[in-house]
Homo-oligomer: A and B are copies of this chain.
Amino acid sequence: MRKTFQRQVILEELRVTKDHPRAAELYARVRHRIPTVSFGTVYRNLRMLRDQGLIQELTLGDEASRWDGNYSLHYHFTCQNCGQVQDLEVEPDSRWEAKIECLTGLAINHHRAEFYGLCSDCRN
């Protein structure tokens, strides 16, 4: 994978934010720095960066994918009122995988968990 300016900017923009932008929003941000960048380039790079494990794709509900510059294993929370998505600080439960392997005979590689509810701004 070559180190191109476009790819670098796309990765940087994801790294510096904690919201979880969709491709269109990210494209807008990248465009501030590279006015000629194309949607194709953004999508191609998101896929590549994901396949390399440098970023994560979130498919929450029935909307477009969101992208997360935090590559470490963590869970997500979606506010059902305002729609914001945030990382959860709780540590993922790995014993769960072992428990399921035990009970089912499946070989588990990884899991994800998503929580839904109201964020602190919206609960009041």
Residues of A within 8 A of B (CB): 57, 59-62, 65, 77, 80, 88-90, 93, 96-97, 99-100, 103-120, 123
Contact = CB atoms under 8 A, between A and B. Distances in A.
B100 A88 contact: yes
A103 to B, nearest CB: 6
A107 B90 contact: no
A59 B60 contact: yes
Could you say how many copies of this chain the assembly holds? 2
A120 B106 contact: yes
B113 A117 contact: no
29 contacts: A57-B62, A59-B59, A59-B61, A59-B62, A77-B100, A77-B104, A77-B108, A88-B100, A88-B104, A90-B99, A90-B100, A93-B96, A96-B113, A104-B120, A106-B115, A106-B117, A106-B118, A106-B123, A107-B117, A107-B118, A107-B123, A108-B115, A108-B116, A109-B116, A109-B117, A109-B118, A110-B115, A111-B114, A112-B114
Contacts of A104: 77, 88-90, 120
